[in-house]
Chain A
Amino acid sequence: MASPVTAQVAAETVRDLRAASAGRDFAVYLSRKLATAIVSFAALLVVGFILFSLIPSNPVAALTRGRPTTAKQLAFLTKQLGLNLPVWERFAHFVGNTVTGNLGYSWQFQEPVATLIAQRVWPTLLLVGSATIVSVVIGMWLGIRSGWRPGTLLDRVATGTSITFWSMPTFWLGIMLLVLFASGFGPIPAIFPAGGMSTPGAPGGLTPDHILDVLRHLVLPCLTLVLVTFGQYQMVMRSSVVDELGSPYLLTARAKGLRDAEVERRHAVPNALLPSVTVIFLQIGLVISGVVTVETVYSWPGLGYLAYQALQIPDLPLLEGTFLVFSASVIFFNLVADVLYRFLDPRVRRQ
């Protein structure tokens, strides 16, 4: 017969063992997810190479377009760009360069693509970050309200609004907001600036004036992005709340005498939140699609506007750089979503 002390020790050992194995499990899980991300990135490199190195028939002709060039100059350019090498060797070069951050030289800005991208990352992060936060808060709140009582007026209005905004071209919505609030329409004065990130000529730096100026420029692009994306969060949140509605634990909570609002807030919502949180990170691809057009309409000096500027030439190295950065960030956020899910959902953690 075991004494209480030994029983306690045994229990603690078991708990420690469990914790250790959970830790090891997590390491296995994390390395598996990391491996998936690396394979995804490798696939991305293959697609990038096919898209920008194999499909364009003659980059030399595109580079020298309209300018008189001798056969010798053409041969030199072909050699300089490495186009005379076998395909696998060109691919090896491409992978080596990309991994070390050498994304080539922009044709129109005459600057390394990596430098250009580094300058444009922060404005995009500011826009995407602020829009995602507002959009998630509004979308989730609406989703919870409409999912808790499906079929009510609020549910129908919220779902209808989401579908209408989804059916609207993002760039047009942006232009409509420009017409309404930036150039002044009828009784509405021009409240917000029409484009850019700050008033030209104004001093920069971290002064309150400058911050306020940037915020004023941020309002319209951010609003456009929020209107286009909040519907996705609303629909995801709504369907996960609807999924929880028939659950027995809600009946138990009601039987205990909790008020309806409390059942919703303390029992249904936390459970429904889990799948939605990961979806926020998985929606990043949609947000990026929106960013390209929104930044174009508002001349917001970010990565999306850079991609648009690259399109006009077309400046293929620059376009390729923005493509790789956008797609790699999607792979990164998918990884974050996987890891976060593991932390948030105790059921997955225990498996």
Chain B
Amino acid sequence: MTTLSQAATATAPPRLQALRRFARAFLGRPTAVAGLAILVAVAALALAAPLFIHANDLDVIGATGRPMAPPSAHYPLGTDYAGRSILTLLIWGTRPSLAIGVIATALTVVLGTLIGLAAGHFGGAPSRVLMAFTDWFIALPTLVLAICLAAVLGQSDVSITIAIAVTSWPGTARLIRAQTLAVEARPFIERAKALGAGHVQLVFRQVLPNVAPLVLVSSTLTVAGAILTETTLAFLGLGNPTEVSWGAMINQALNSGAVTANAWWYVVPPGIAILIVVLGFVMVGRATEDILNPRMRARS
């Protein structure tokens, strides 16, 4: 029986074996498991929210509670300036933050990967120009650029998403370029070239699969940054004005005098929620990086 299962593991494709090794190492780290648990719980809450929260719970006009009331049995986290339950708003707020964070990261990864692959594969003058552009972009004050872009495009979720993607690709591009250079120095690329593979074949069939795991790791940390930027832009009033989000909640709290009124139940929960979600992504991202690239972690 044992020999049979051992034989099965040995004959499993190498990628599957690597995946199993990775899963074992991942589950062996308490912070990684805690981070993953946070993310699964938050994602489940975001997906299930429409099942128990109705549109009139979020409506400013139809709110039933007293404005800015402290926590009570009926409103466990108190109410906001319009008398809506903070707990309900808090749960609903997971949706825009996660959606914008993940979509913006997907755009960032596509953009950064394409530019990084091109810069790493073609080399020479085009690569130098691309990398100079990337470095120039990294140095710019990201938040200021994102604010300007979102302001020019108008208040909406789409413009926030675009602003985040446009300002956060350079990090991914640098990472992918370095990895592309490393992969292209390996003998199997030479073999593929000798067999007559063209640029597209080389980049997408040979290089990309070897770079992909790193893309995934960097994207976990990118989501963390994207969510922070999303809440900041929403706080500055650049998001969709009719939507409930954590950043907008804190903005309303500040504007409705919750700070001077000592309404801590209005200000504290959204911030804690952002902190927990961001920490979840950071913990998973750092642990994955640690497993896939132990040398890097020991130094940084």
Contact = CB atoms under 8 A, between A and B. Distances in A.
Contacts of B231: 169
Interface string B135-176: 010011111110111011100000000000000000000000
A179 B262 contact: yes
B275 interface: yes
A167 B278 contact: yes
A307 B147 contact: yes
A51 interface: yes
B13 to A, nearest CB: 36
B203 interface: no
A55 B250 contact: no
Interface stretch (B56-64, B178-186, B266-274): B266-274
Given A178-B259, A326-B141, A311 B275 contact: no
A39 to B, nearest CB: 8
A149 B213 CA distance: 32
A168 interface: yes
A235 B300 contact: yes
A182 B264 CA distance: 13
A285 B141 contact: yes
Contacts of A178: 259
Contacts of A297: 254
A167 B282 contact: yes
B299 interface: yes
Contacts of B140: 44, 285, 327, 330
Interface in A264-297: 282, 284-285, 288-289, 292-293, 296-297
Nearest to A48: B148
Interface residues of A, number: 55
Nearest to A167: B278
Say which size band chain B's interface belongs to.
35 or more
A170 interface: yes
Contacts of A284: 141
A103 interface: no
Nearest to A195: B259
B238 interface: yes
Contacts of A98: none
B228 A51 contact: no
Contacts of B142: 285, 289
Interface in A166-195: 166-173, 175-176, 178-179, 182-185, 194
A168 B298 CA distance: 24
B236 interface: yes
B131 interface: no
A323 B236 contact: no
A239 to B, nearest CB: 5
A176 B264 CA distance: 9
B271 A282 contact: no
Contact of A175 (B136, B253, B278): B253
B144 A242 contact: no
| A-B complex: 6 closest residue pairs judged by Cβ atoms | A289-B143, A172-B271, A167-B278, A288-B141, A285-B141, A314-B151
Given A167-B278, A239-B300, A296-B236, 8 more contacts: A168-B274, A169-B247, A169-B271, A172-B270, A179-B259, A289-B143, A292-B144, A311-B237
7 contacts: A43-B136, A51-B149, A172-B270, A175-B267, A288-B144, A307-B144, A311-B236
